[in-house]
């Protein structure tokens, strides 16, 4: 992904306020929907820190302000997730949860498609289990 693509992604999401709403809805759904039980089990009982970390990470990842690195250091995304068994099922739960969050916030289908393609690349790269 080049710099122009990431800048457009931040703007595509709707900037800071909409990104925060997206992350909050994502975690609300993960916490409420039984179909995301495997994904939810990988998180601590309180999702407060997870919400903040994902929001900060996605801000920079989508081309907005780098909020993650000054607070937590380099993301080393895959290394930080190695303790968790992430297979195809967990990847798909994450993507489905994010899609539902986008739909709930009224993102149009074109916006969903662009964002999901980018999310898929990273989510698939995070897999460390065959299934």
Q: What is the CATH number of the domain that holds 107?
A: 1.10.490.10
pLDDT band of 4, cuts 50, 70, 90: low
Q: Answer yes or no: are the C-beta atoms of 57 and 66 closer than 8 Å.
A: no
Q: Per residue in 44-97, pLDDT tens?
A: 999 999 999 999 999 999 999 999 999 988 888 888 888 889 999 999 999 999
Q: Answer yes or no: are the C-beta atoms of 68 and 53 closer than 8 Å.
A: yes
Range of the domain at 65: 3-125
User: Is residue 1 pLDDT above 50, yes or no?
Assistant: no
Number of domains making up the chain? 1
Q: How many Å apart are CA 117 and CA 121, to the nearest integer?
A: 7
pLDDT band of 22, cuts 50, 70, 90: very high
Residue 87 within any structural domain of the chain: yes
Residue 131 within any structural domain of the chain: no
The dihedral region occupied by 76, where left means phi > 0, alpha psi between -120 and 50, and beta the remainder, is left
Q: Per residue in 102-112, pLDDT tens?
A: 999 999 999 99
Residue 27 within any structural domain of the chain: yes
Q: How many Å apart are CA 124 and CA 101, to the nearest integer?
A: 19
């Amino acid at each position: 992904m080049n710099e122009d693509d990431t800048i457009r992604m931040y703007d595509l999401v709707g900037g800071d306020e909409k990104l925060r709403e997206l992350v909050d809805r994502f975690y609300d759904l993960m916490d409420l929907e039984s179909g995301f039980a495997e994904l939810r089990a990988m998180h601590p009982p309180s999702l407060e820190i997870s919400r903040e970390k994902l929001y900060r990470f996605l801000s920079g990842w989508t081309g907005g302000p780098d909020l993650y690195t000054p607070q937590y250091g380099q993301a080393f995304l895959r290394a930080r997730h190695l303790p968790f068994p992430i297979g195809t099922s967990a990847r798909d739960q994450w993507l489905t949860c994010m899609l539902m969050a986008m739909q709930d916030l009224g993102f149009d289908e074109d916006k969903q498609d662009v964002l999901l393609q980018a999310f898929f690349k990273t989510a698939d790269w995070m897999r460390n289990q065959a299934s």
